[in-house]
Amino acid sequence: MTRPPLLLSLLLPVLAQAATPAEQYTAFCASCHLPGIHGAPRVGDTAEWARRLRGGFSLVYRNAIEGVPNTAMLPLGGASLSAAEVRAVTEYMIAASALPAAALKEAARYDRLGISDRDFIRQDANYDGRLSRAELAQDPVLGRNLGRFDIDRDGALSEKEYLQAEAVLARERAAVRVDDAAIRTAVRKALAGIREIDPQYANVEVRNGVVVLKGIVSHAVVALRAGDAVKRIPGIRRIDNRLVSGDQIGWD
Helix (H, G, I), strand (E, B) or coil at 118: helix
| pTM (2 d.p.) | 0.83
Interval 111-168: pLDDT, tens: 999 999 999 999 999 999 999 999 999 999 999 999 999 999 999 999 999 999 999 9
Q: All domains of the chain, ordered by start, with CATH?
A: 6-110 (1.10.760.10), 114-174 (1.10.238.10), 176-251 (3.30.1340)
User: How far apart, in whole angstroms, are the C-alpha atoms of residue 135 and residue 125?
Assistant: 7
Interval 122-131: pLDDT, tens: 999 999 999 9
Interval 12-44: pLDDT, tens: 555 545 589 999 989 999 888 988 877 788 888
Buried b (16+ CB within 10 A) or exposed e, 115-131: beebebbebbeebebbb
